[in-house]
Structure 1
Amino acid sequence: MTRPDPAVRRFVLVAVWIPIALVAAGLIVQLLALPQLPPTVAVHWNATGEADGFAPAWTQPIMTVLFGLGLPLLMAVTSLGGLRRGDRGPTYRLMGATAAAVSALVTVALTATLVMQVGLDDASQAPTVWGPLVAALVAGALAGVGAWFLQPRTPSPDAVTRPAVPLALAAKERVLWMRTTSMATGAAVAVVAAVLLLVVVAVAAWVTGSDPVVAWLLTAVAVVLVFFAATTLAFHVRVDDTGLHVQSVLGIPRFRVPLADVQSAARVLVNPMGEFGGWGVRIAPSGRRFGIVLRAGEALEATRRNGRRFVVTVDDAETAAALLEALVQRAGARP
């Protein structure tokens, strides 16, 4: 039986097993403390560190599992598929480190704020939150850094591409290639769900009378995410005698690689997480590739004369690359 690759094993260790161990330890401490706590405990503190939000004590262990384990497992699930297919890159290493850091921060914060209320008659007497907050931040930082170094360093894939075979074009023949590309269903659902969740949280902040600064901040972030989702879920791609044009279905953002700036064009295969760190309008870690990355699979890549590459994931990328190569050759744009 073949053993999993070291990168996969270490990722599972830091993104799955370490969070499980941390949350299990936190739950043991919390369950032991529950009989010595008031029925209602402080769960929120204002900017001065004073308790101003309360909930039943039994909700704290549930929140620990949901956020201390649920979030890391979500990160692990979204990354493991690519790792097992052989995809590599620092993004996966960062996701593993982030999963461990989130688990440590949440578990320490929720456990410490619960334990410090042991023996109180009334939750309103809860001590200031600054000590547990500092402890949680330190724990998260240590867990994240440790998890980063526990994982092997794997370079981002950035394969050398070969220019496409140009199509045969007559001297004055007019040719146009167009396609519409959209984000993969899973990624689109995740983006829309995240936006809707933040919108609900922002609305709840206003309805429940939260701090206006927090409510406005949540609202601003929600508006930005709504704009991002609306403008990056689908793009029109066009190749004509002026070059490569990529434009959101809503009109913005729009991108263009002029024919005179095209050094070569090729069809490539793209792994969003490993090569670009995710989906959407992305810059590769190397800084030399910019992409409209909406899904895994084939993409049109135009290499500029300065060596930078523009990538857009789209069906029939081979035809688009062949046409772009032919147009560049016919125009005599390549030095």
Structure 2
Amino acid sequence: MRGKWILASGAAILLGAALGAVTLLWRSGAGGSAPSDPTPPGALAEISLTGVVRAQHVVGLAAPIEGTLFNVMVGPGEEVHEGQLLAQIRNTALEEELEAAGEEVRRLEDRLKNLESAFLAARLEASRANADFSRAQAEFFQAEKAALRQQVLYREGATPRRVYEAAQAEFKAKEEEYEVRRKAAQAADEQVSAVLNETETVRKALQEAKERMELAGSDLLAADVVSPANGILTAVSAKAGEEVHPEAGDLLQIAVDLTQLEVVVEPEPTVREKIRPGQQASVHVAEAPGEVFPGSVRQVGEEGAIVEFTSPAPGVRPGHSAHVRIRLP
């Protein structure tokens, strides 16, 4: 009897232990452990990066002439307007050429005035000389006619020798005067022609000197760097006193259309591999609190990624820092 009771007690203990084990297993299987993360290790649904805002459209201005950057009127970040003077370049060679051309113009103008006066005087002298020549010529012809008549009469014995010789002497005197007046008139006419020719030469030289002066002046005027559009100056590649050259690249850069912006970010190589053009992004700029600007990845390269966006907020400008979130597929 006692043996049966001991056997029954042992069976009950074994049954209880079995029930406890089953209950423990059931609880462990029902919710004792958290479900595994479906995202593979290292995968990201979104990445956050910081970068600098810049304009999508930038106008570059090269130095218009070679020379020394004399003055820069604006600095990076300042607003500029179309037609505004931004910088000045000095070129001493052009300045010297302009000064020399100006002096040449003044000298030739003075010379031209003197020649014009000389031309009037030469014409007056030529007019007088030709009048004297015409008078001497008429008297010469008259004396010649009288001398020939007296010669005929003298041969025929119809006039005294004294009258004949007087007529010959008068003819000789008038002939000499005629020759003197002829040469004087010829010289006066030649002087008029010479002055006229020199006047034309000086007038032509004056025109050329004025053209050189205008060209040098226009070149110096081109040394003024003027803004071609409204925008914000973003970069100046040289300082006042430094030499600049048209082939040296952009001297100034102006951001235009300030609603079309972009952010340049530089992710780590492992992160950059996950970025693709066209991926959606959001841009946050401290200068526009509460604003979230939707954008997209435009370009990805070894130097980084470019996220473009449109900003209607006037407070967002090139050079501002931006926080960019790029959503990954």
TM-score normalised to structure 1 length:
0.22
- Give the strand-richer structure, 1 or 2: 2
The structure with the largest alpha-carbon Rg is 2
TM-score between the two structures when normalised by the length of structure 2: 0.22
